[in-house]
Structure 1
Amino acid sequence: MAKRGIVLLNLGSPDSTEVKDVKKYLMQFLMDERVIDYPYILRLLLVGGIIAPFRAPKSAEAYKSVWTKEGSPLIVLTHHLQQALQARVEEPVEMAMRYGNPTMESAFDKLIEREPGLEEVIAIPLYPHYAMSSYETAVEHAKAVHKKKKYTFSLSFVKPFYNEPHYIHALTESIKPYLQQEYDQVLFSYHGLPQRHMKKADPTKSHCLKVENCCEVASPAHATCYRHQCWTTTQLLAANLNIPANKVGFSFQSRLGQEEWLKPYTALRLQELPKEGVKKLVILCPAFVSDCLETLEEIAMAGKESFLHSGGESFTVIPCLNVHPLWVQSLATWIKDFAEGRKEMILKEVL
């Protein structure tokens, strides 16, 4: 049996809520060419000269509002997930962040220390949906570190799991308790993307945002189409939970800048919904498997305030999967399937 290790890949977080650490994190994150895909010099001027200096103090305050005694919620919850998964599998499990700490290199090195003679590593990007600025950059970064450090183990990646049955079942069961109450709408809020990212990721260059109801019309573009995959997750969950079609909402949050992003925008919908008769709202963020700044501050705090101020009466936020037992079991199942030769969830292998 091959000597194998597991790495959980997540986005990352500043080392602290100090402005200097937040600025450092924003520079690393936003200078990624797959996040802001402008030419390097333009990106440097925009991020280094405008976005990071002005955004860092505001972001630092936002992080302070959700920071825990243990540290960043995203880092802490990913660590808890690592521990929960480790309790279910024999392979050593480590975690790495695309930006900040712990690094990809440190995760690989820890696996080698724990498993001398390591032959293969399964990397699990904790992004259900494919996007250039999340799943793709995590995969490409892991591959680059693997190549640069000349590691001898093989490296495989779990596919985006937006429609994988175990994941959908885990998410369904985590949501059910929150739908026992009366509600006017369940809003599925996903992290947003610039529309140009959608067009750039479309291998056909003729489908995404060009064909009417493009997410519902079969196309090879769907393999890398973030919007289609978010729409599919929503449809599967709504069906599993028996949510009436007229009570299902779908939107995108976390817009940055003034260009066109995927619509509708969550921030605007939270202001509009009360005027449309939606007074009791249930909201969840399926693009995230771990609660973080975007779910805890942007939605649970700022979003709630906006909705109630606009005339809403109740605002219920459903937590991310975090360490839900069925979610942990999903990850363990994928690893077991790989070990037993069933590789449906594996995307590629890097030697």
Structure 2
Amino acid sequence: MKGVLLVNLGSPESPTPKDVKPYLDEFLMDKYVIDVPYLLRALLVRGIILRKRPEESAHAYSKIWWDEGSPLIVLSERMHKKVQPLVNVPVALAMRYGTMTIENGLQELHDKGVTEVLLFPLYPQYAMASTLTILVKAEEIRKKKFPNMKFTDVPAFYNKPDYLQNLADSMKKHLAGFDYDELVFSYHGIPERHIRKTDVTKSHCKIDGSCCNTPSPAHEFCYRHQCFETTKEIVKLLEIPEGKYTSTFQSRLAGDKWLEPYTDVEIDNMPAKGIKKIAVVTPAFVTDCLETLEEIAMRAKEDFQANGGEDFLAIPCLNDDDEWCQTVGNWINDWTK
């Protein structure tokens, strides 16, 4: 019997330092997120970052927290509830970090008699710190707890026409009547070394301005290429003129070279260039979360306006959009045929 496991990032149990700290510990101690030797990672995370970050992050979470709970969890659950009636196989929801574990999701499917699972990481673009860590964790659990299960995984869907159409339609709806000077495609940032580590050719990804546009097998796992391709395809669908959009990367840690240009730097500098009205979309996420609701819709907006900007529109993620849920249902149905 077949079944599906939708997997998203996760969330702390509450917007308090007490609950944020173990969540951040699990997240940042993941070797696919901070990919340095264990002892160095432990020193960095537990000796430095977790001394201050839980309080700072808890404050940020408290600004976006809903009465029902974490927006990412609530929105993921809404999507899950819409997708389930569209398919004829059991669908479970799990998170890579936090208490809604992948193990619990697989157990739920196992208890329903599922022996073949479609692992569905809810990330359009492939990255070590998102897609890969989900697949590795699920496989570890399968070997220990569910050895008779068989896995198939959904590859990065950054260039799938139906996903792109869903995103374009959603953006068009939210942009209606908003006369922007610049449309910012803000993607989650990752260290440049992650790009090189996932390069299956071990030589193509030089991050030199041309490699992302030069055909290569490396593109199947290249986050940077896939982000730029998403922008390129959406720009075509929405007929956005050249010079009226840009792609940037947000959420970086100090001390490493991360993908550029940086969202905060670019947005802060726009008013001085005469760009006073901007819209920001975050296509690395299908679900609104801390990085979209606080980092972009609140902090980036405040900074933009403090620097002389006037109008700022944060475009919501696809969340539980009916068209998007139908697309997910169609992909599942195609797999079950």
- The one-letter code of the counterpart of 2:325 is V
Cα distance in structure 1, aligned partners of 2:207 and 2:29: 29
SS of corresponding position for 1:87: helix
Partner SS, residue 23 of structure 1: helix
**Counterpart for residue 302 of structure 2:** 305
Rounded to whole Å, the distance in 2 between the matches of 1:250 and 1:185 is 11
3-state SS in 1 of match to 2:47: helix
Q: Classify the secondary structure of the residue corresponding to 1:94.
A: strand
Worse-matched range after superposition: 251-260 or 125-134 = 251-260
Look up the match of 2:10. Answer: 12
CA contact (8 A) 1:128 1:287 kept: yes
1:274–1:310 contact (8 Å) kept in structure 2: yes
What is the SS of the residue equivalent to 1:63? helix
Q: Which of 108, 119, 122 is the aligned partner of 1:123? A: 119
Distance (whole Å) between structure 1 residues aligned to residue 167 and residue 207 of structure 2? 31
**Which has the larger displacement, 205-214 or 154-163?**
205-214
Residues of 2 paired with 1:91 and 1:41: CA distance? 43
Superposition deviation, residue 275 in structure 1: 1.0
CA distance in 1, matches of 2:175, 2:155: 30
Per-residue CA deviations over 1:46-80 (Å, capped at 9, x if unaligned) read 00010112111000000000111111111111111
- Report the equivalent of 1:109: 107
Query: 2:74 aligns to what?
Result: 76
Alignment-derived partner of residue 175 in structure 2: 179
1:233 aligned residue (230, 236, 241):
230
Counterpart amino acid of residue 255 in structure 2: Q
Secondary structure of the structure 2 residue equivalent to 1:8: strand
Which residue pairs with 2:29 in the alignment?
Answer: 31
Where in structure 1 do 4 or more consecutive aligned residues deviate above 6 Å? Answer: none
Instruction: Please report how far the alpha carbon of residue 173 of structure 1 lies from its aligned counterpart in structure 2 after TM superposition.
Output: 0.6
Q: 1:331 aligns with which of 328, 333, 336?
A: 328
Q: Name the residue aligned to 1:264.
A: 261
Distance 1:132 1:307 in 2: 31
Shift of 1:187: 0.3
Counterparts in 2 of 1:36-185, with a 5 A limit?
Answer: 36-113=34-111, 115-116=112-113, 118-180=114-176, 181-185=178-182
Conserved? CA contact 1:194–1:262, under 8 Å: yes
Q: What's the CA shift for 1:155? A: 1.4
Relative to structure 2, which stretch is displaced further, 197-206 or 95-104? Answer: 197-206
Unaligned runs of 5+ in 2: none
Amino acid across the alignment from 2:45: V
Residues in 1 aligned to 2:175 and 2:107: alpha-carbon distance in whole angstroms: 44
- Cα deviation 1:251-276 (Å, max 9, x = unaligned): 00011123110000001011111111
1:132 counterpart letter in structure 2: M
Q: Which residue of 2 aligns with 1:281?
A: 278
Structure 2 SS opposite 1:269: helix
Shift of 1:119: 2.4
One-letter code aligned to 1:329? Q
2:188 equivalent in structure 1: 191
Q: CA deviation at 1:153?
A: 2.4
Instruction: Give 1:291's aligned residue.
Output: 288
SS at match of 2:151: strand
- In the other structure, the counterpart of 2:252 is 255
Give the direction of change, closer, same or farther, for the CA distance of 1:74–1:153 in structure 2 (3 Å limit). same
On the 8 A contact 1:127/1:160 being kept in 2, the answer is yes
Q: Determine the C-alpha separation between the residues in 2 that align with 1:210 and 1:194.
A: 12
Structure 1 residue 24: Cα displacement: 0.4
Q: Give ranges in structure 1 of 5+ residues lacking alignment.
A: 341-351
Structure 2 distance, partners of 1:210, 1:326, is 35
Task: Find the aligned partners of 2:218 and 2:122 in 1 and give their Cα distance.
Answer: 22
1:145-175: CA deviation from partner (whole Å, max 9, x where unpaired): 1111134221111111000111111111101
Percent identity between the aligned chains? 49
User: What is the root-mean-square deviation in Å for CA atoms of aligned residues?
Assistant: 1.1
Whether the 8 Å contact between 1:187 and 1:282 is mirrored in structure 2 is: yes
* Letter matched to residue 265 of structure 1: Y
C-alpha distance in structure 1 between counterparts of 2:99 and 2:147, whole Å: 20
Deviation at 1:211, TM superposition (A): 4.7
What is the match of residue 205 of structure 1?
Answer: 202
Return the offset for 1:210: 4.8
Number of corresponding residues: 336
Q: Deviation at 1:212?
A: 4.1
- 1:347 is aligned to none
Partner Cα distance (2:88, 2:209) in 1: 48
Range with bigger deviation, 211-220 or 291-300: 211-220
Q: Equivalents in 2 of 1:27, 1:139: separation in Å?
A: 20
The whole-number CA distance in structure 1 between the counterparts of 2:85 and 2:51 is: 42
Contact residue 182 and residue 280 of structure 1 kept, 8 A: yes
By how many angstroms is 1:111 displaced? 1.6
